[in-house]
Structure 1
Amino acid sequence: MSHENCIFCKIAAGQIPGKRVFEDDQLIVIHDINPAAKLHLLVIPKRHIETLADCLPENPADQALLGRMLALAPNLAREQGHGYADGAGGFRVVINTGPDGGQEVYHLHMHVLAGPRPWKRMG
């Protein structure tokens, strides 16, 4: 998919609406339009990266971006009423990569899911 036709790039640019939960200079977070769980957020980098496999371990910018995405997940879950504390609650984070990994949109994104066993609906 070309960068110009990327739906997540268009959402990040404000060309397509998305129910935003969070935004900073690197990331946007929106509600998934086809949720697989009571809470289903998408953490999307503003920079177009097709897959997790395109992130390089020796690239400090990629390391920082992936760390930022993961570090944000607990706060997002907690703010949406699905945090983990004192052995109760919890959430799941998923990054699908490539066709065999279940990736449907070729722009790196992370799913934050919570609610009663949200992974039962995930393939």
Structure 2
Amino acid sequence: MGVVNCVFCAIMAGEQPGHRVFEDETVVAFLDARPLFPGHVLVVPRRHVETLTDLPAEDVGPFFTRVRLIAGAVERGMDAAGSFVAANNRVSQSVPHFHVHVVPRNRKDGLRGFFWPRTRYASDEEAAAAAARVRAALDVG
């Protein structure tokens, strides 16, 4: 099930240390070694997949049910006002094993938005063209 040289697979196998907060047959959740704030948790599917789009459809619901569970626990356990829940797919993904970050948040904690500059579409036409490209690329069926 694990992949050689995957740090997350090694943590799940007990070959590398990790401060686990939850595990079952679907996921392992452990503290991020380089947290944004204390209580920053990574939720990792036991099945080694690189991205969200690689996660089999039948695993998506069970996986995100666990993410939801962990998000509530992080907020309660860290006395946080809320949480930031996010995943990267390839770009900015430091470990090529799909994972979701659950970060405790409080007002004025120093993080801004999505941590990067936000922009606007130059026009409604530009926005409509972007929406059309995404719609055309949908793979439903």
* 3-state SS, counterpart of residue 36 of structure 2: coil
CA contact (8 A) 2:20 2:29 kept: yes
| Structure possessing the higher relative contact order (Cα contacts under 8 Å, 6 or more residues apart) | 1
% identity of equivalent residues: 35
Q: Which residue of 1 aligns with 2:89?
A: 97
Residue 73 of structure 1, CA deviation: 2.8
After superposition, the C-alpha distances for 1:85-118 in whole angstroms (9 at most, x for unaligned) are: xxx932121110112xx11110011101112257
Query: Whose radius of gyration is greater, 1 or 2?
Result: 2
Paired residue total: 109
Q: Which has the higher strand share?
A: 1
Mark the runs of 5 or more structure 2 residues left unpaired by the alignment. 117-141
Q: Which residue of 2 aligns with 1:17?
A: 17
After superposition, the C-alpha distances for 1:1-54 in whole angstroms (9 at most, x for unaligned) are: x92111111111111110000000121000001001243100011111011232
The reply to whether residue 35 of structure 1 matches residue 27 of structure 2 is no
| TM-score for both structures, normalised by structure 1 | 0.75
Kindly report the root-mean-square deviation, in angstroms, between the aligned alpha carbons of the 2 structures.
2.5
Residue 72 of structure 1, CA deviation: 2.0
| TM-score for both structures, normalised by structure 2 | 0.66
* 3-state SS, counterpart of residue 4 of structure 2: helix
Mark the runs of 5 or more structure 1 residues left unpaired by the alignment. 56-61
Structure 1 pair 7–19 and aligned structure 2 pair: CA distance change class (3 A): same
Structure 1 pair 38–65 and aligned structure 2 pair: CA distance change class (3 A): same
Structure 1 pair 114–41 and aligned structure 2 pair: CA distance change class (3 A): same
